[in-house]
Amino acid sequence: MDKRAVNSVETNDRICDYGWGIVLCLILLFCLSMGALYFASSRDLNPTSPVKTVGLQMIWYLLGSLLASLIMHVSERQLLQWTTVGYYCGLAGLVLVLFFYSRAYFIQTGAKSWFAIGPLTFQPAEVMKPFYILMMSRLLVEDYHRGLHERAQDDWRLLKKMLGYTLPIIILLKFIHDLGTTMVFVAILAGCLLVSQCRSKFLWRLFLSAGTVGAGLVWAATSSGGQQLLTHLGFKAYQFARINSWINPSGDTSGQSYQLWQSMTAIGSGSIWGIGFHHQSVYVPVRESDMIFSVIGETTGFVGSVVVLGIFMYLIYLVVQAALTSHQLLYVYVSIGVAVMLTFHMFENIGMTVGLLPLTGIPLPFMSQGGSALLGNFMGIGLVLSAQYRSFRSIFSLPNKFY
């Protein structure tokens, strides 16, 4: 084959990889989200205007798309310059929300996670996630340029630096009573460590120790003596209730297990093909945000649920593929961090709606109602698209003035 033809084929393949698969997944999730939100808001016990709910979410989608487009055109050098600023601005937001949190949301959820400005609310921890991913990625790039880890001191040096930026976030999240978001940051940290230069022996010991501690906390949360100890450490009664409802969802279906039991009932009622959008539905509290997957399971059944899972899995596959094909190390680590964030959100949210995992209040990416979570996810997608945009643009060898 002629060399020019080969180059043309390779160029066309790269153009096809220019993030269009990711964009298609987001369009599909947008359509599903709008339908699910309309259904949920029209069948609430205190129904709000479905048009208003869907319209507001559309506005957040538009803002998120614009934000992702802007981030996509930011260079690696500019990202590194803004990483520290974004990280500390995020910390400042977590500090401010301790004092200026929404009292109404605190009464409803027990968490001080939201600012409230009139009818609008904002959760600073959500937009902190992409800045945290950038900070971890920068540390990994710096560590990579130092050379391979040959001693245990090298592993511990990197871990200490990563914990130095992680612990302040976890401590602040502890004060605002947001355990679910804390778990997301821990998952991102674990994912970044897995792709770091830390030796396998060190990682095995570290994750085994962390797993032992986690299992011990679950055991303590289910025993009276352990609950007393955890209460002194700052755990709340509603957190114990969520653990108990997870272990025994049918134990108190009119009390602490009500939300989970209703969610499982709604998903089960969907059977294979779902009940559709025009039939009477099972009431599930807060189904427009945390429990949005129960709407999918009920209205579209097993088939629709599998389709949604397939879209998410393909989206995550494309994000990982962006990491594997990027020519810049920073974007490799950033894409891995975004993939871990989306994966954890997806499995935790869907797992808790079907009773496989405890309730944590983690939204389903690009589907649950909420502007700040949507903006944080779009910021992550913007970083991934930026990696593909750099590779795409390098095909044509544009002059420096275009960079």
Average pLDDT of the residues in 293-305: 94
Q: What is the DSSP string of 92-143?
A: HHHHHHHHS--HHHHHHHS----EEETTEEE-HHHHHHHHHHHHHHHHHHHH
pLDDT for res 17: 53
| End-to-end CA gap in the chain | 33
Q: In the beta sheet, which residues pair with residue 116? A: 121
In this model, does residue 246 exceed pLDDT 90?
Answer: no
In this model, does residue 82 exceed pLDDT 50?
Answer: yes
Burial of residue 35, with CB atoms counted within 10 A of its CB: 0-12 exposed, 13-18 middle, 19 or more buried: middle
In this model, does residue 2 exceed pLDDT 50?
Answer: no
Query: Which of 4-13, 221-230, 281-290, 291-300 is predicted with the least confidence, judged by mean pLDDT?
Result: 4-13
Question: Within a domain: residue 401?
Answer: no
CB 129 within 8 A of CB 185: yes
pLDDT for res 12: 41
How does residue 395 score in pLDDT terms, banded at 50, 70 and 90?
very low
Please state, in angstroms and rounded to a whole number, the distance separating the CA atoms of residues 329 and 144.
Answer: 9
In this model, does residue 242 exceed pLDDT 60?
Answer: yes
CB 174 within 8 A of CB 182: yes
Average pLDDT of the residues in 3-12: 42
pLDDT for res 179: 86
pLDDT digits (tens, 9 = 90+) for 93-132: 999 999 998 888 888 777 888 888 877 889 999 999 999 9
Question: Within a domain: residue 402?
Answer: no
Scanning the structure block, which residue is given the tokens 């929300």? 97
Give residues with Cβ within 8 angstroms of 272, minimum separation 6: 301, 302, 303
Please state, in angstroms and rounded to a whole number, the distance separating the CA atoms of residues 232 and 285.
Answer: 30
In this model, does residue 16 exceed pLDDT 80?
Answer: no
CB 191 within 8 A of CB 203: no
Query: Which of 195-209, 249-263, 387-401 is predicted with the least confidence, judged by mean pLDDT?
Result: 387-401
Please state, in angstroms and rounded to a whole number, the distance separating the CA atoms of residues 33 and 366.
Answer: 7
Range 359-391 burial, b when 16+ CB lie within 10 A, else e: bbbbbbbbbbbbbbbbbbbbbbbbbbbbbbbbb
pLDDT for res 46: 67
CB 379 within 8 A of CB 67: yes
Question: Within a domain: residue 181?
Answer: yes
Give residues with Cβ within 8 angstroms of 17, minimum separation 6: 321, 325, 388, 391, 392
How does residue 249 score in pLDDT terms, banded at 50, 70 and 90?
confident
Give residue 264's domain range: 3-396
Residue percentage of the chain with pLDDT more than 90: 56
pLDDT for res 390: 65
For the chain, what is the domain count?
1
CB 251 within 8 A of CB 257: yes
Residue percentage of the chain with pLDDT more than 70: 90
Question: Within a domain: residue 216?
Answer: yes
Mean of pLDDT over the chain? 86
Question: Within a domain: residue 403?
Answer: no
In this model, does residue 251 exceed pLDDT 80?
Answer: no
Average pLDDT of the residues in 272-299: 88
In this model, does residue 359 exceed pLDDT 70?
Answer: yes
Question: Within a domain: residue 207?
Answer: yes
In this model, does residue 8 exceed pLDDT 50?
Answer: no
Nearest 5°: phi and psi at 122? -145, 135
Question: Within a domain: residue 288?
Answer: yes
Average pLDDT of the residues in 222-244: 75
pLDDT digits (tens, 9 = 90+) for 34-65: 999 998 888 776 666 788 889 999 999 999 99
